Chain A
Amino acid sequence: MHNPVPLPAGAHLLLADAPAQLLPARELMAFTLASHIILVPMGVALPLITLVMHYRGLRRNDPTALLLARRWSAVMAVQFAVGVVTGTVLSFEFGLLWPGLMGRWGDVFGIGFGVEAWAFFLEAVLIAIYLYGWRRLPARTHFLLGVPLPAAALLGAFGILAANSWMNTPRGFRLDSTGNPVDVDVWKAIFTPMFGPQYWHFVVAMFLTAGYVVAGVYAVGILKGRRDRYHRLGFAVPFTVAAVFTPIQFVLGDSIARSVFHKQPVKFAAMELVWETDTHVPEYIFGRLHPDGTVTGGIKIPQLDSILAGFRPDTEVTGLTSVPASDRPNPTQATIAHWAFDIMVVIGSLMMLLVLWYAWVVWRRRKRPAAQRLPESRWFYRSAACAGVASVIAVECGWITTEVGRQPWIVYQNMRVAEAVTATRSSTLWVMFGVVIVVYLFIFGSFLAVLLKMRTRWRLADAAAGPPVEGPETGTPYGPRDDVPGAAVGAGTRAGEDGTP
Chain B
Amino acid sequence: MTTASIVALVLLLAVAAYACAGGTDYGAGFWDLTAGGAERGKRPRWLIDHAMAPVWEVNNVWLIFVLVIMWTGFPVLFQTVFSSMWLPLALAAVGLVLRGAGFALRKPIKRVAGRRLYGAMFAVSSLLTPYFLGAAVGGIASGRVAPGTVASAQAWANPTSFFFGLLTVTATAFLGAVFLSCDAERWDAPDLVGYFRRRALASLAVAAVLGVAALFVVPSDAPHLWSGLTRGGGLVLALVAVVCTVATALMLLRGHVRWSRFTAVGVVAASVIAWGVAQRPYLIPTSLTVEEAAGAPSTLVWLLVVTLVAVLLVGPALVLLYWLDTHAELESLSESDLRQVGGGSPAGSE
Contacts and interface: CB of A to CB of B under 8 A. Distances in A.
A417 to B, nearest CB: 16
Given A81-B100, A106-B71, A424-B151, A135 B334 contact: yes
Nearest to A92: B93
Interface in A468-488: 468, 471-473, 475-482, 484-487
Contacts of A135: 331-334, 337, 346-348
A485 B54 CA distance: 20
Nearest to A132: B330
Interface stretch (A223-231, A285-293, A388-396, A441-449): A441-449
A95 B82 contact: yes
Contacts of B79: 5, 95, 99-100, 102-104, 106
B108 A63 contact: no
B64 A117 contact: yes
Contacts of B345: 139
A439 B310 contact: no
Contacts of B314: 118, 121-122, 125
A195 to B, nearest CB: 16
Interface stretch (B28-36, B55-63, B246-254): B55-63
Contact of B338 (A63, A125, A422): A63
A111 B317 contact: no
A63 B187 contact: no
Interface stretch (A181-189, A246-254, A264-272, A326-334): A181-189
Contacts of B306: 111, 114-115, 118
Contacts of B54: 128, 131-132
Interface in B305-350: 306-307, 309-310, 313-314, 317-318, 320-321, 324-325, 328-340, 342-350
B346 A139 contact: yes
Contact of B72 (A63, A111, A423, A481): A111
A1 B317 contact: no
Interface in B34-81: 38-39, 42-43, 45-46, 49-50, 53-55, 57-58, 60-61, 63-65, 67-69, 71-73, 75-76, 78-81
A92 to B, nearest CB: 4
Given A137-B329, A139-B345, A476 B107 contact: yes
Contact of B112 (A125, A128, A447, A501): A501
A486 B43 contact: yes
A61 interface: yes
Contacts of A357: none
A501 B65 CA distance: 43
Interface residues of A, number: 116
Nearest to B331: A135
Contacts of A66: 338, 343, 346
Interface stretch (A83-91, A295-303, A364-372): A83-91
B101 A95 contact: no
A80 B324 CA distance: 20
B101 A446 contact: yes
Contact of B295 (A94, A110, A139): A110
Interface string A117-142: 11011101111110111111111001
B151 A91 contact: no
A128 B55 contact: yes
Contacts of B68: 91, 110, 113-114, 116-117
Given A128-B330, A471-B335, A108 B65 contact: no
A314 to B, nearest CB: 44
Which of the listed residues A61, A78, A137, A423 has the most CB atoms from chain B within 10 Å of its own CB?
A137
Nearest to A8: B83
Given A447-B105, A450-B105, A485-B43, A70 B340 contact: no
B200 interface: no
Which of the listed residues B54, B60, B297, B342 has the most CB atoms from chain A within 10 Å of its own CB?
B54
B157 interface: no
B332 A134 contact: yes
Contact of A114 (B38, B72, B107, B344): B72
Interface residues of B, number: 110
Contacts of B339: 63, 466-467
A388 B308 CA distance: 40
B157 to A, nearest CB: 16
Contact of A96 (B39, B55, B93, B293): B93
Given A1-B291, A70-B338, A95 B71 contact: yes
A135 B333 CA distance: 4
Which of the listed residues A67, A450, A484 has the most CB atoms from chain B within 10 Å of its own CB?
A484
Contacts of B58: 121, 124-125, 128
Contacts of A82: 100-101, 104
A128 B348 CA distance: 20
A75 B185 CA distance: 31
Contacts of B114: 499
Given A2-B296, A486-B42, A129 B320 contact: yes
A105 interface: yes
B10 to A, nearest CB: 11
Interface string A1-35: 11101100000000000000000000000000000
Given A132-B330, A134-B346, A103 B97 contact: no
Contacts of B61: 84, 117, 120-121, 124
B298 A99 contact: no
Nearest to A155: B313
Nearest to B47: A484
A487 B344 contact: no
Nearest to A115: B306
B89 interface: yes
Which of the listed residues A82, A86, A481 has the most CB atoms from chain B within 10 Å of its own CB?
A481
B57 A124 contact: yes
A278 interface: no
A498 interface: yes
B6 to A, nearest CB: 14
A453 B114 CA distance: 14
Contacts of A107: 72-73, 75, 295-296, 299-300
Listed from nearest, the 8 A-B pairs whose CB atoms lie closest are A107-B295, A63-B343, A103-B79, A95-B82, A110-B72, A106-B75, A134-B333, A132-B330
5 contacts: A107-B75, A118-B313, A125-B314, A126-B317, A423-B150
Interface of B: 4, 38-39, 42-43, 45-46, 49-50, 53-55, 57-58, 60-61, 63-65, 67-69, 71-73, 75-76, 78-83, 86-87, 89-90, 92-94, 96-98, 100-101, 104-105, 107-112, 114-115, 118, 147-148, 150-151, 187-189, 288, 291-300, 302-303, 306-307, 309-310, 313-314, 317-318, 320-321, 324-325, 328-340, 342-350
Given A114-B68, A134-B333, 17 more contacts: A61-B343, A63-B342, A82-B101, A94-B82, A95-B81, A96-B86, A103-B76, A114-B72, A117-B68, A131-B54, A132-B54, A135-B334, A136-B328, A137-B347, A138-B347, A473-B332, A489-B188
